[in-house]
Structure 1
Amino acid sequence: MLRRIYDWTMSLASRKSAEVWLAIIAFVESSVFLVPADVLFIPMTLARPERAWRYALTATLFSVLGGIAGWMLGYYAFETIARPILEFYGKAEAFDSLRTGVDYKTVLLLLVTSGLAHLPPIKVVTILAGVAHVDIVLFIVSAILARGARFLLIAWLLRRYGEPIRHFIEKQMGRIALALAAFAILAYLAYRFLAH
């Protein structure tokens, strides 16, 4: 089923309505959908590099709006709506582990790491932020910075290097983002340790 969803998402890149679909996918990825917006964003940007910044801004804006929807699900409707969504994706246990083992500041850090590297999945963190009652303004600023950095960096790489960089982005970018996320987590832990 996941492969069919992935292939369907890829097929949207060649449609005239691709930018509308990018907005929809970016929105639902941040709250309920499994396939990342990158799957659509990358081929669209390669096909029309002159629109790279526009696509990056569209993806960022709608990803943040989707994140707000995820936050609202966590804040107002966790048991009735968000938990069934997490169970559908097999993420309920991982969510419960995160929920019991993190504090407010850690949720913000996870928002940055998931926004940059999809670790943990963004939808899990947006819902968790709502459950943890993370301040909505702080949540929105963190989401804009993390998601914007990701989409703008990919847009810049695709405009500068074109198709040859695609393999690097699809295969290595995740590892680099993971390394940056790990560094951010370690820096945060070191800061907390030194502060106490």
Structure 2
Amino acid sequence: MLRRLYDWTIKLSGNKNAHWALAAVSFAESSFFPVPPDVMLVPMTVARPEKAWFYAGVCTIASVLGALVGYAIGALLYDTLGHWLISLYGYEHGVEEFRALYAEWGAWIILIKGLTPIPFKIVTIASGFAGYNLFWFVLLSLITRGARFFIVAGILNRYGEPLKAIIEDNLGLVAGAFVALIVAGFVVAKYVV
């Protein structure tokens, strides 16, 4: 199954509309979806390293647009949808503490968490809930998400061919490490942050 999913993503990268699927995942991940866009960005960029910068730009723009939806959920719908989403990911007990931290450390929270495997939707919803300045939220999200996706794209653009061979030879191990990184991000967000 894992090989089929990888092969499908590699094949998708050859499609002229592949960037729309990547954009949809990036958008959804910033507001409600649990899977980061890296699951598509990495194999698509490995397959087409010449499109690395384009794919990173698509991820960045779509992620920031999705972050605005997450912000709106936190600002306008926290009592219903926002609380449900936060509870779904198991973070309902830390939101008030998170909100208090925004008064002093809001910019750093957005910048640091946007670069990590900590789910960005938690940051976007909490930013809206805390009433963080929308202009700064968008600017900081653009910086941090752009940095994250362009760093990944830069590495894959530069080392795409050797990495493709490593990924294809060790697909199970690479996928396992990626899942472990995602789970670690959720655990860190829940128990450490």
- Structure 1 segment 104-183 matched on structure 2, within 5 A: 104-119=103-118, 121-165=119-163
Do 1:10 and 1:40's aligned partners in 2 also have CA atoms closer than 8 Å?
Answer: no
What is the one-letter code of the residue matched to 2:71? W
1: CA distance, partners of 2:134 / 2:6: 30
* Secondary structure of residue in 2 paired with 1:45: helix
- Letter aligned with residue 28 of structure 2: V
Unaligned runs of 5+ in 2: 168-173, 186-193
CA deviation profile, 1:107-155 (whole Å, cap 9, x unmatched): 3211111211133x21001111111111111001100100001111111
- Which residue of the partner structure matches residue 189 of structure 1? none
Gaps of 5+ in 1: 179-196
- The correspondence of residues 1-150 of structure 1 with structure 2, limited to 5 A, is 11-15=8-12, 16=15, 17-99=17-99, 101-119=100-118, 121-150=119-148
Maintained 8 Å contact 1:10/1:39? no
Give the TM-score taking structure 1 as reference length: 0.75
Asked if the contact 2:9–2:44 (Cα under 8 Å) also holds between the matched residues in 1, the reply is no
**Rounded Cα–Cα distance in structure 2 between residues aligned with 1:154 and 1:58:** 13
CA pair 8-109 structure 1, distance change in 2 beyond 3 A: farther
- C-alpha separation in 2, matches of 1:136 and 1:83: 20
Deviations 1:42-80 (A, max 9, x none): 100011111111100000000000111111111111011
What is the CA distance between 1:26 and its match in structure 2?
A: 0.4
Deviation at 1:97, TM superposition (A): 3.9
The 8 Å contact of residues 107 and 125 in structure 1, kept in 2 or not, is answered as no
User: d(CA) in 2 for partners of 1:79 and 1:18?
Assistant: 36
Alignment CA distance shift 1:105-1:60 (3 Å): farther
Check the 8 A contact 1:12/1:21 in 2, yes or no: no
Cα separation, partners in 2 of 1:10 and 1:86, compared to 1, 3 Å: farther
Q: Which has the higher contact order (CA 8 A, sep 6+)?
A: 2
Of all paired residues, the percent bearing the same amino acid is 33
